A and B are shown apart, each in its own frame.
Chain A
Amino acid sequence: MKRGQISLDFLFAVTLIALTMVNLVYVANSERSHAETFDTATKLKIFSVDVRDSLTKVYAAGNGFTLRKGAPFTLQGGDYINITLSPADNLINVTAMIGGETYRVVQKSPVPILGESSVKLTPENPEFYITAQYNETEGRLYVKVSS
C-alpha cells in the first residue's frame, strides 16, 4: 500500500514536470527554427558589408587594382549568391538562394558606382573579383564585379 501511495504522488509530480517540459520544448523549437534562418541571414549581412568595404578599398587603390573574394560559406547544389552593383541609386544588391529560401540584402555604396555589373556565385564557381578601371575618355574610375 505504501508503495502505491508513493507512486500516486510521484505520478502527479511527473505529470506537472512533463507539462513544464512540453512548454520548454515549444520555446526551444521556436528558437531553433529562427536560429537557422538567422544564421544564414547574419552571414549574408556580414558578406554584404565586406563587399561594400572591399569596393571602397578597391576604389581607393585606383586603376587596375583587383581583389579576389569568395563566398562566405560553402554553397550546396542549387544555392547561389548574386551580387549586383546598380548605378541608379548607388546600391550593392546581394540576393541569395540558400536551401530553397531567398535572401536579399542591400548596402549603400560609399563610392560612386558608374556602371552596372553583376556576378553570380555558384557551388562550382564560388569566387569573384572586384576591379577598378579608369576610363580615360570620361576621366572617371569604374568599380566592377566579375567572375
Chain B
Amino acid sequence: MKRRGGCTSRYHRRAQTSIEALFITAILLTGILIAIPPYLNENRMTSAVVYVRNSASNACAYLNTGVVVNGSEYTPVNRIIEADNYTYGGFQVSGISSIESADRITVNVRIVYTGSELPGRSIQGNITAFIKNDLVSSTNVNVDNGKLYLNGKELEINVSVVRR
C-alpha cells in the first residue's frame, strides 16, 4: 500500500514537472516570437542602409579613380567617366538617410562632386543603375519587375548628385 502510494506520488510529480516545463517553454516561445520580428526588421533596415552606402561609396571610388574597366557592371559609371574626359571628379557620399513604411524601405543617398559640371539627370540615373546592379549581384537583394526587394520588402533608392 505504502509502496503503491509512493508510486502514484512519483507519477503525479513527474506529470507536474512536465506541465511546468511546458509553461516555461511556452513563455520562452512567446518571448522569442515577440523579440524576433522587430530584430529581423531592424536587421533588414540596417543591412539595406549598409548595402546601399557601400555600393554608393564604391561607385564614388571608381569614379574618382577614373579608370574604365570593361565589364557590364561598370557600364553605367563608365559613361560618367567618359563624359568627364577621364578627369578627377572628387565624388563623395555626403549623406544617407532612410525612411521605412509598411511595405517599403526608401534609402536616400546624397553625393557631391567638385569636378567639371555634368548633366545632373543622366549622372543620377547612371549611379542609381550602378548601385542597383551592385546590390543584386553581390548581396541578397533581388530584383522583380525592375523593383528591388530585400527579404520581401521593397527597397527604393533615390540618388541625388549635386555639384559643390
Looking at chain B, what size class is its interface with the partner chain? 20 to 34
**Quick check: which of A35-43, A58-66, A68-76, A110-118 contacts chain B, the rest being far away?**
A35-43
Give the interface SS of chain B, mostly helix, strand, loop or mixed: helix
| B134 cross-chain contacts in A, Cβ below 8 A | 30
CA distance A140 to B106 in the complex (A): 60
CA distance A87 to B32 in the complex (A): 71
Q: Can you offer 28 A-B residue contacts whose CB atoms are under 8 A?
A: A1-B17, A5-B25, A5-B28, A8-B28, A12-B36, A16-B39, A23-B46, A23-B50, A26-B47, A26-B138, A26-B139, A27-B139, A30-B54, A30-B139, A34-B62, A37-B69, A38-B65, A42-B65, A45-B66, A101-B69, A101-B71, A103-B67, A103-B68, A103-B70, A104-B70, A105-B67, A106-B85, A106-B86
Q: Which residues of B contact A (CB under 8 A)?
A: 17, 21, 24-25, 28, 32, 36, 39-40, 43, 46-47, 50-51, 54-55, 58, 61-62, 65-71, 85-86, 134, 138-140
